[in-house]
Amino acid sequence: MIEPTNYTEATLCFPIRGDEVLLAEKQRKIGAGFLNGFGGRVEASDIDVCGTNIRETEEEVGIRIKTAQKLGEITFHNPSEDEILRKMVVHIFAATEWDGEPIETDEMKKIDWYKIADLDYDRFLPADRLFLPIILKGICVKGLIEYNDDWSVRSSSITEVTKF
C-alpha cells in the first residue's frame, strides 16, 4: 500500500472488449456528470487493490472481474473539500474477462460500449486525456496530477513504466 497514510487509495477499472471500452456517466463525488470507468476507495476488508477493483466494479456496474491487469498508478491532488478525496492514489486496471452483464446503479448511469479510437475526451475529467489514451493501448503509466480549484489541470507528470 501507499505511504504516507494521508493519501486515500482507490481503484479505477476499464473493461475492454476488442476495440471498445465500457464507460458510464458518474453520478456523484469526483467526476460526477463525466464519463468514467468503475472503481472506488480501498476498504479495510479488501485483501489488496486487486480485491478492491473486483468489489468496486461489481458494486458500480454489476460485473465480476475475472481477469484484469494493473496499468496505472496515479496520485491526484483534487480540489475537494472532503479530506478523504483531496489526495488520492488511484490504481488503474484494464479488465478483459468478467462474469455478468453491465447494469446501471445509483453511482453509474448511461452505461455503454465506446470505440476506443473515437473517445471524446471532452466528456471526461480534464486530466483523463493525459493518461487514459496510453492505458487503453495497454501501456503502464505512473504519475502525479494536480488540479486547480476549477478542476483544470495545474500540473502533471505521467511516465510510462515497464510493469507493475
Who has greater pLDDT, 108 or 3?
A: 108
User: What is the rounded distance in angstroms from the CA atom of residue 49 to the CA atom of residue 60?
Assistant: 16
Q: What is the mean pLDDT of residues 60-89?
A: 92
- pLDDT digits 0-9 by tens, 101-139: 999 999 999 999 999 999 999 999 999 999 999 999 999
Question: Are the C-beta atoms of 55 and 32 separated by less than 8 Å?
Answer: no
Is 3.90.79.10 the CATH classification of the domain at 8-161? yes
Question: Are the C-beta atoms of 11 and 38 separated by less than 8 Å?
Answer: no
Please report the pLDDT score of residue 155 as a whole number: 97
DSSP 35-67: EE-B--B--TT-SSHHHHHHHHHHHHHS-EEEE
Model's pTM, two decimal places? 0.93
Name the nearest CA neighbour of 98 among 69, 133, 137, 68: 68
User: What is the rounded distance in angstroms from the CA atom of residue 42 to the CA atom of residue 22?
Assistant: 22
Q: What is the mean pLDDT of residues 46-67?
A: 96
- pLDDT digits 0-9 by tens, 9-51: 999 999 999 999 999 999 988 889 999 999 999 999 999 999 9
Please report the pLDDT score of residue 1 as a whole number: 38
